[in-house]
Structure 1
Amino acid sequence: MDFKDSILQFAKRVEQLCPQIQTEEATKNALIMPFIQLLGYDVFNPFEVSPEFVADIGIKKGEKVDYAILNDNKPILLIECKHYTQDLNPHNSQLFRYFHTTDAKFGLLTNGLEYRFYTDLVTPNKMDEKPFFEFKISEIKENEIAELKKFHKSYFNVDNITNTASELKYLNQIKQLLNQDFNEPSDEFVKYFTRKVYPSTITAKVLEQFKLITKKACGVYIADEINDRLKSALHVDSMNIDKQQPVIIQPSVAEEQEDKESKIVTTEEEVYAWMIIKAILAENIEPARVVLRDAQSYCAILLDDNNRKPICRLFFNNPKRLSIGFFKEDKSIVRYEIASVDELYKLKEHVIAAVKIDK
């Protein structure tokens, strides 16, 4: 299992574990130590991971940070932990105090759900007030996994991370500002665009009017971008649709037995496929009508949550052998093998035809 898959699997497990975690120590054991292991470090090797690492502050002796990841017996990453329900905002000062007393170039503040990485971009040997990289494990994105991978033992390089930290910090801050202004445009944001399109003086009344217009314009722009990309994705390989030959796949005895014994688990791939099918059908029907109903041996995609209106079946139990099945008029199923979930776009015509038949 590669790093990305390991992180995504861990993210799913975190949500299941949280209700059972009552203390900060339990947070460390259930969430943070496994996370450190995913970064390639042996949490039971004191030469790699030092719990309760001593970081004396001036005349205050015996001050300890929860964990320090070591290299050549020197700390390279300090980790301060809190209970998963705690807000991290009041606690960065604690990590701030430890930072300048050690050789560590990076600090991590986490409650097992949120992860905030710090360094000293503003003043050398003085931890920045704002993190240069942060994410929520339950919502982690592919680009964030790529950044996190730089902290893996196999790839860790201080200069490499430092060189990208500044860009990453300001990139994230600008994204946050854009998100705020797209949802609730600030006066400065509105004035910037209003000056370019409105020929007269911008009064308070005009500004208020353009706040609504700007907010609506942002929404329309985002929707148009999504639609354009969706249309482009739907068009990918559409000319080769006729070349996609159906393959009748008979499940093996072992697969049938595994299906019977396994519990129903809706995977990320199944949900992703469901989203693609909803997107394909969006121009023809209301997406809310497309419903996922999982079973042990397959995942059904239905119209109006009605078994008599099947769109298709996803056979994703074996991640190395993905296929999608469509019903023929005699109710038999023809399966198409796909190399990845994205190849569902190649079967666009089959998806649409299934809905036309069952409307």
Structure 2
Amino acid sequence: MKYHVDQNGYYGEFGGAYIPEMLYPNVEELRNQYLDITSEASFKEEFESLLRDYVGRPTPLYFAKRLSERYGAKFYLKREDLNHTGAHKVNNTIGQILLAKRLGKQRIIAETGAGQHGVATATVCALMGMQCVVYMGEIDIARQAPNVARMKMLGAEVRPARSGSRTLKDATNEAIRDWINNPVNTHYIIGSAIGPHPYPDMVTRFQSVISEEIQKQLQEKEGRNAPDHIVACIGGGSNAAGAFYHFLDNEQVNIIAVEAAGKGIESGHSAATSALGKKGIIHGCKTLLMQTEDGQITEPYSISAGLDYPGVGPMHAHLYASRRAEFISITDDDAMKAGLELAQLEGIIPAIETAHALAIPEKRPFRKDEIVVINLSGRGDKDLNTYIDHFKL
């Protein structure tokens, strides 16, 4: 179990809970109770029935025939884009809202970049009749307008973050401030495998339904329960954490984490944390972080709002440092090309986040007999304007 979290909330040297004193009671309450609550039979039953009847799980594992013919290996796509709300994010928000209810919270806050986590949070708050406030960077509000409209239609209040780069990092800062000011009645649903312990582990466990299903589905399709390679895009990294979870200790499975290189790793406009990051603390955990010589966080850049983050979750930092995972950085241009290619080869328009993972076959050769599972983490409706502008469609 060397790639999983230890009892102190660390993955190797990464993780922990670096938090202001004001937040200590909230985080302690979660840490002391999340494993007990989530292992209760009534919790599991409610979680599984909502995933099945409301979210629409299991999501298909789809053999991409034309993609496989083009790149000469067996490519399967785990279709998280077919979940209710259009991405993997809802797996975690369902789990966390059930937890919040059992902790007696009445108000939910969240941060969002691409808007998918905001939509998933607003969705479960509507479902459970809870007040919802979503923080979102001003720049992301402009580039993800359809998701902003969805959140408002679902009854959430969307509050713009106007400081710093006005993207995901700043939205997270605002959400943490809110939580400090409203510690008693508010639960903060973090959308990624980041934040103070127990968040990275909690989010990963709720997302691990992805790799659990991949095991069963591959067994049915290929007579084996593990691929040769599992591929996912990472920003904070919740879709990747869920896709990798059940394969972490199986060293036969090669893990490929795909980061956003933006306009190029050395361009000064990138979010390739593994290549550019050093150890540091962000949003309550120790991880790899893009920063200046004197420890100031540098502004990340990616055409994809969901990968535009200066760090990675501590589990991914550990996978990188221990060399358990292969980290590859993909530029905006290569991701956009891969998104268009999937649309025209398989009739599936992916989110631009996911398109980074889909660029891998072009960058890295696979053998003909190898099985490669790519986590198709979200659908591209929210990104149509970006695709249209990029390709002059």
Instruction: Report the TM-score when normalising by structure 2.
Output: 0.21
Greater C-alpha Rg? 1
